[in-house]
Amino acid sequence: MNLDEILNTLHISEQSGHVISTEEGIILHNALLILQNENHFRKIFFWGRIFGTDNDYYLAYGYRSDALHDRIFYYSTNCLNWGLLPSPTEYAKKLTPLCTVKFQGDPALVLDVLLEKDEISFGAPLQEPQVKKLKEEDRLSATIFFINQEVLTLPRGALFKRADGVIVENLSFEGLTTLESREIKSFLHFRVPTQKWNTNLLTRDDYNYAIDFLDPLDTDIPEGCWLQNLTSSEDIVVLKSLYWPGMFFYHFLGTPRYGFLYFGNGIKCLDVPFFLNGLYPIYEDFFAGK
Amino acid sequence: MINDINNTGSIIQVNAEDRDLGISPIPNDESEYVYAKSFLQKGSTVTGENLYDHLTEVLNKILSERPENVVDFFEEYSRKVKEKRFRPLTDHLEDIFVAPGRYKLANRLMPLLKPLAPDEPSTLDPEDLERADMSKNNMLELLFYFEHSGLGLPRTEMFCLTMSLRQLIRVAPIANIRFWGKIFGMQKNYLVVETQLKEEEYVKRNENYNVQEDNKIEDLALDQLENINKQEEEIAGEGEPKKIWDTLPPIPKIQYEEPPEPPSEPSGVGVNKKVYYVCNEIGEPWVQLPDVTPKQIRVARQIYKTFTGDLDQPIISYPHFPGTERNYLRAQIARISASTHISPLGFYTFGGEGMGEEEEMDEEMEAGNKTEVKENLRYDPVPIKDLTDKSMMFWVHHNLHILNQGRTTWWNPNPLPEGIDEELGEEEEKPTLLGPEPETGPPLLTPCSEDVTLDAIPAWSVRCSSGIAEEYAVAVVRSNFWPGAYCFATQGKMFHNIYFGNGLKFLAPNFSPTPLPPVEQDYPTGPEIMEIVDPTGAEEEAWRIAHLPKEKPTKLAAGEEEEPEEEEEEDEDEDEDED
């Protein structure tokens, strides 16, 4: 979320119920400006808040030149003192999905992660249950990495790939139209693309090399794992992911204003296949005996 | 005229000289310009556009807009200009007015924004006309505290909600009303309002209570099923006695008996104490949710389904959920209310007026299960330091715990003389004889510090809304089991429980669906239905030889021809039996 919008989050809360309180907003606004200045960031964004049982983590990121590859994350437990978030280690990336407890809010805390028998994240299946140690700071960094990979979102056209390969914000972005906003394809994953460069181009007829270099959301499975809602006034489109409850993306239609926020406990919800309801009319037919 | 002729003559002369000398002409600005311009103006053979006009337009746009670092986005600008040009100028839909997106919303909200019509003079008792107290339902005031706690809904929505509630209490017999929260569904969301109806209304609703018991309906259905089964058997019996049917065993009967279903609590009691109204969006009519049955609560605990936003959406799940999303929503609301509605210590008491705290405690001990709490008129606000204490000692539950049975009070499934449920004196003795131990939950007003922790996750997280200005701060409590359930308490006498979430409980290990029960046996195991190894060719041969008719050795050939057929028939019969 852009710094300017931190102070006015109430009007985008219709679909999430969460806002940044005035005091929090003012502190964040100023603290992040100072952080931006110290790091010579071209732009700085508020990323979200991870609820811990004792303390909450606030996260922010900024970039110097490349909006996609140069992102640097900072975290804080009180909005005032910001610390650099370490880049996720392979070890933490393997252990984080196995953590079931909530974040506590102490970055120095060392967690015990229980690996069940036959767990295969570390190569060969384990012969017997094992306990591994994980520092909460590393877990936080791996969690942020996963959320960024999976659900950080952009409207199509918001980023622009310059001829020299550097990705910058598109100054001529004028926002999506109402019609475009109804298509999940108009939203792109804000991550280093995982598919071949032409895969995303070939799926649309009005492709543009400079814009369609990111993966669109329509390849995510199962269909329906993204909730796409218009607010009742039909001027803001809101995306939510079922995998990461608390993730929240908004875009003011017809304007270049968009943003991403995460207010959640930082645990991925793997129950999506069970709780999709009403998306499979075939089953209804089946139960009706057709 | 003469001059002109001379001039043209000289140009021709120069040109002639150049040609003669064979030297390239001296760069002539004007002609170069004309040449280049005519090249740029050459129309595309495909679209008829030309570069000259395009560049003019692009430069024009850039100069008028003067964006930063324009060279980086030059292509983008160029593309946009081009796109605009291809939009048809003669828009045939021009005359059709397309309503702006907010129009629908405006239409919905307008009725709320008009002043309410004055009350008509009525002959009814003024007490009957008394309406719910709205003084605590100023949503904008509530929003002020929500914002402190990091929660909120848009200001318009909150304001219109107040207006909407004001209209609701005029048309429904409501004694008490409160904004419960918002449940986010897949397509639409639910705004939920918690109400307590007037006494007469509860009496009216419970008049048919005994008649409409769910059990009876189920019994009826079972009876009908049995009848159908009997009829089928009769038909089968009356049919022509075929040879193979003699060997068929009777149709298997279902051995499984459903355990007796506890009756649902009457309106105004236990889980049905409150009545909930929901609507998808402000301005739509409020829909009353039906009362919840114990079975619905029990099944809701076993399934994990999101809400779609359509009250009539069937819930497709195992175990089967009795009802539609309407009932599921009601069951989830009951569960959320029961486990997350908390209040600061001392805000509610057990109704003993003019008693000291100690006396109240004694009374609590004596009564054991008190089901009613009353607002403590002499509530002394708990200081914020205590409210934000991590032990949660100063917060208490004011809603009854729901037992495993799906009720707040335990119902004895096997009372000795059938049908007498209400003789409490007897019931107290029976459990000792019969065995089933009555389930008990924590009594009302139990401190939250005694809540169970699940997998090292404490039930509650508590925050102070401000780190700087403590004198204005509110205490915010967040449920860790029901993400989205919050409670805030000001330093004055105000607190509010609110829920903004998707209506699902947090499960520390992931959700695992209930496994299917083991397959029931159709028939008792016996030789008829057991799987046995087919006889080999040699065995068949041996059997055939052993069964050769011996008395008629002369007609051996004919006997041989007949017998295998019989065998085959018998085999077939056996096969059918097995099937």
Confidence of residue B419 (pLDDT cuts 50, 70, 90): very low
Contacts of A98 in chain B (CB under 8 A): none
Question: What b/e string do you get for B74-110 counting C-beta neighbours within 10 Å, with b at 16 or more?
Answer: ebbbbbebeeeeeeeeeeeeeeeeeeebeeebeeebe
pLDDT of residue B257: 78
- Whether residue B78 lies within 8 A of chain A, CB to CB, comes out as no
Q: Residue A88 and residue B394: Cα distance in Å, rounded? A: 40
pLDDT of residue B239: 47
SS3 string, B87-156, reads CCCCCCCCCCCCCCCHHHHHHHHHHHHCCCCCCCCCCCCHHHHCCCCCCCCCHHHHHHHHHHHCECCCHH
Summarised one tens digit per residue, pLDDT across range B349-370 is 876 544 444 444 444 444 445 6
- For residues A123 and B327, the model is more confident at B327
- For residues B135 and B272, the model is more confident at B272
- Whether residue A51 lies within 8 A of chain B, CB to CB, comes out as yes
Task: Give me the percent of chain B exceeding a pLDDT of 70.
Answer: 72
The Cα of B326 is separated from the nearest Cα of chain A by a number of Å equal to: 14
Contacts of B469 in chain A (CB under 8 A): 23
- Whether residue B390 lies within 8 A of chain A, CB to CB, comes out as yes
- For residues B3 and B144, the model is more confident at B144
Asked whether residue A262 carries a pLDDT value surpassing 90, the answer given is yes
Please check whether residue B399 lies inside any domain of the structure: no
Q: Are B345 and B294 in contact (CB under 8 A)?
A: no
Q: Residue B503 and residue B307: Cα distance in Å, rounded? A: 8
DSSP alpha helix (H) spans, B150-213 = 155-171, 199-206
Please check whether residue B574 lies inside any domain of the structure: yes
Do A19 and B146 lie within an 8 Å CB cutoff? yes
Q: What is the rounded radius of gyration, in angstroms, for the C-alpha atoms of chain B?
A: 42
Please check whether residue B196 lies inside any domain of the structure: no
Phi first, then psi: what are they for A199, rounded to 5°?
A: -60, -45
pLDDT of residue A88: 92
In the numeric block, the tokens 């939950």 are attached to B441
Confidence of residue B8 (pLDDT cuts 50, 70, 90): very low
Cross-sheet strand order for the sheet of A247-252? A83-84, A72-76, A57-63, A43-50, A258-264, A247-252, A236-241, A226-230
Q: Residue B118 and residue B124: Cα distance in Å, rounded? A: 16
pLDDT of residue B182: 93
pLDDT of residue A139: 93
Confidence of residue B180 (pLDDT cuts 50, 70, 90): very high
Mutate which of A7, A23, A247, A253 to disrupt the B interface (most B C-beta within 10 Å)?
A23
Identify the weakest region by mean pLDDT among B28-32, B125-129, B419-423: B419-423
pLDDT of residue B191: 93
Query: Chain A neighbours among B 447-476 (CB < 8 Å)?
Result: 455-458, 461, 463, 465-469
Confidence of residue A48 (pLDDT cuts 50, 70, 90): very high
Tally of domains in chain B = 1
Q: Which amino acid is at A162?
A: R
Q: Read off the DSSP letter of residue A22.
A: H
Per-range mean pLDDT, top range of A52-66, B126-140, B434-448: A52-66
Of B178, B180, B182, give the one whose Cα is nearest residue B133: B178
CB atoms closer than 10 angstroms to residue B44: 10
Asked whether residue A47 carries a pLDDT value surpassing 90, the answer given is yes
Global ipTM: 0.88
Please check whether residue B545 lies inside any domain of the structure: yes
pLDDT of residue B430: 40
Please check whether residue B569 lies inside any domain of the structure: yes
Please check whether residue B454 lies inside any domain of the structure: no
- Tokens of residue A184, six digits: 């999940």
Tell me the three state secondary structure of residue A187: strand
Query: Chain B neighbours among A 138-197 (CB < 8 Å)?
Result: 160, 162, 168, 170-172, 178
Asked whether residue B137 carries a pLDDT value surpassing 50, the answer given is yes
Asked whether residue B6 carries a pLDDT value surpassing 70, the answer given is no
Q: Residue B291 and residue B490: Cα distance in Å, rounded? A: 33
Q: What is the rounded radius of gyration, in angstroms, for the C-alpha atoms of chain A?
A: 20
pLDDT of residue B28: 81
- For residues B358 and B414, the model is more confident at B414
Confidence of residue A269 (pLDDT cuts 50, 70, 90): confident
Mean pLDDT of A104-108: 90
In chain A, the residue whose alpha carbon lies closest to the alpha carbon of B500 is A17
- Whether residue A119 lies within 8 A of chain B, CB to CB, comes out as no
CB atoms closer than 10 angstroms to residue A25: 20
pLDDT of residue B443: 79
Average pLDDT, chain B: 76
Q: Read off the DSSP letter of residue A15.
A: G
Task: Give me the percent of chain A exceeding a pLDDT of 90.
Answer: 36
Q: Residue B503 and residue A33: Cα distance in Å, rounded? A: 37
- Tokens of residue B530, six digits: 């057991």
pLDDT of residue B494: 87
Residues whose CB is less than 8 angstroms from the CB of residue B97 and which lie 6 or more positions away in sequence, other chains included: none
Name the residue facing B510 among A56, A270, A280 (closest C-beta).
A270
Mean pLDDT of B385-408: 86
Name the residue facing A275 among B304, B313, B325 (closest C-beta).
B304
Name the residue facing B480 among A19, A53, A280 (closest C-beta).
A53
Q: Residue B565 and residue B563: Cα distance in Å, rounded? A: 5
The Cα of A232 is separated from the nearest Cα of chain B by a number of Å equal to: 7
Tell me how far the alpha carbon of residue B564 is from its chain's centroid: 66
In chain A, the residue whose alpha carbon lies closest to the alpha carbon of B75 is A210
- For residues A41 and B531, the model is more confident at A41
Beta strand extents in B405-546 (DSSP E only)? 460-464, 475-479, 485-489, 495-501
pLDDT of residue B1: 44
Confidence of residue B446 (pLDDT cuts 50, 70, 90): confident
Asked whether residue A205 carries a pLDDT value surpassing 90, the answer given is no
Do B186 and A168 lie within an 8 Å CB cutoff? no
Please check whether residue B289 lies inside any domain of the structure: no
- Whether residue B64 lies within 8 A of chain A, CB to CB, comes out as no
CB atoms closer than 10 angstroms to residue B445: 21
Contacts of B457 in chain A (CB under 8 A): 53, 101-102
Do B467 and A78 lie within an 8 Å CB cutoff? yes
For residue B555, give its domain range. Answer: 537-578
Q: Residue B58 and residue B60: Cα distance in Å, rounded? A: 5
| Preceding peptide of B319 cis, ω within 30° | yes
Of B70, B76, B72, give the one whose Cα is nearest residue A168: B72
Mean pLDDT of B324-348: 91
pLDDT of residue A288: 58
- Tokens of residue B320, six digits: 């089967």
Name the residue facing A14 among B79, B148, B157 (closest C-beta).
B157
Q: Are B363 and B350 in contact (CB under 8 A)?
A: yes
Summarised one tens digit per residue, pLDDT across range B465-483 is 888 888 888 999 999 889 9
Mean pLDDT of B134-151: 86
Contacts of B485 in chain A (CB under 8 A): none
Please check whether residue B342 lies inside any domain of the structure: no
Confidence of residue B435 (pLDDT cuts 50, 70, 90): low
Confidence of residue A143 (pLDDT cuts 50, 70, 90): very high
Confidence of residue B331 (pLDDT cuts 50, 70, 90): very high
Mean pLDDT of B155-168: 89
Summarised one tens digit per residue, pLDDT across range B271-318 is 888 999 999 988 889 999 999 999 999 999 988 888 888 898 888 888
